[in-house]
Amino acid sequence: MKEIKTHVTSGIPFSKAMKKEYTILIPDMLRIHFTMLRDVFVSYGYKPELLTNTGPQVVNEGLKYVHNDTCYPALLVIGQMIDALNSGKYDLNKTAVMITQTGGGCRASNYIHLLRKALKKAGYENIPVISFNISGLEKDSSLPLTLPMLVKMIFALCYGDMLMLLKNQVEPYETEKGAADKAVNKWTKELSRQFKAGKCWSMKALERNMRSIVSDFAGIKVKITPKVRVGVVGEIYVKYAPLANNFLEDFLRSQDCEVNVPGIMNFICFKIDNRIEDINLYGGSAIKKFVCGKLLGIFYKIEKIMQSVLAEYPRFVPPATYRELKKMVKGIIGYGSKMGEGWLLTAEMVELIRSGYGNIVCAQPFGCLPNHIVGKGMIRKLRAIYPEANIVPIDYDSGATRVNQENRIKLMLAVGAEKLRDREQRTDKSESAKKEAEEATV
- For another protein, the binding residues in 52-91 under the rule CB under 8 A are 55-56, 59-60, 63-65, 67-71
- The pair phi, psi for residue 361, each rounded to 5°, is -100, 120
Q: Which is nearer to another protein, 202 or 401 (CB)?
A: 401
Residue-by-residue DSSP string for 166-212:
HHHHHGGGBSSTTHHHHHHHHHHHHHHHHHHTT---SHHHHHHHHHH
Among 272, 291, 379, 420, indicate the residue that binds another protein (CB under 8 A): 379
Stretch that binds another protein, among 12-20, 171-179, 262-270, 413-421 (CB under 8 A): 413-421
Among 2, 16, 204, 294, indicate the residue that binds another protein (CB under 8 A): 2
* Non-local CB neighbours of 113 within 8 Å, separated by 6+ positions: none
Stretch that binds another protein, among 98-106, 143-151, 186-194, 222-230 (CB under 8 A): 98-106
Distances (CA, A) of 122 to 55, 299, 397: 19, 41, 22
Cβ 114 to another protein, closest distance in Å? 7
Q: Which is nearer to another protein, 79 or 160 (CB)?
A: 79
Cβ(335)–Cβ(277) below 8 Å: yes
Residue 125 carries which DSSP code?
Answer: T
Burial class of 370 by CB neighbour count within 10 A (0 to 12, 13 to 18, 19+): buried
Q: Which is nearer to another protein, 128 or 160 (CB)?
A: 128
Cβ 283 to another protein, closest distance in Å? 3
Does 99 help bind another protein (rule: CB under 8 A)? no
Cβ(188)–Cβ(32) below 8 Å: yes
Cβ(121)–Cβ(16) below 8 Å: no
Binding string, 318-357, against another protein, x = CB under 8 A? --------------xxxxxxxxx-----------------
* Non-local CB neighbours of 435 within 8 Å, separated by 6+ positions: none
Q: Which is nearer to another protein, 289 or 410 (CB)?
A: 410
d(CA 267, CA 279): 19
Among 151, 366, 386, 420, indicate the residue that binds another protein (CB under 8 A): 366
d(CA 215, CA 316): 11
Cβ 121 to another protein, closest distance in Å? 5
Cβ(28)–Cβ(51) below 8 Å: yes
Q: Which is nearer to another protein, 5 or 20 (CB)?
A: 5
Among 144, 178, 219, 284, indicate the residue that binds another protein (CB under 8 A): 284
Q: Which is nearer to another protein, 1 or 17 (CB)?
A: 1
Strand arrangement of the beta sheet that strand 390-396 belongs to: 257-260, 228-234, 359-365, 390-396
Pick the closest to residue 322 from 338, 339, 301 (CA basis): 301
Window 107 to 126, contacts with another protein (CB under 8 A): 107, 109-110, 112-114, 116-117, 121-123
Cβ 251 to another protein, closest distance in Å? 12
Coil, strand or helix at 226:
coil
Cβ 179 to another protein, closest distance in Å? 27
Does 403 help bind another protein (rule: CB under 8 A)? yes
Does 380 help bind another protein (rule: CB under 8 A)? yes
Pick the closest to residue 167 from 249, 274, 66 (CA basis): 249
Window 121 to 180, contacts with another protein (CB under 8 A): 121-123, 137
Cβ 189 to another protein, closest distance in Å? 33
Does 311 help bind another protein (rule: CB under 8 A)? no
Does 404 help bind another protein (rule: CB under 8 A)? yes
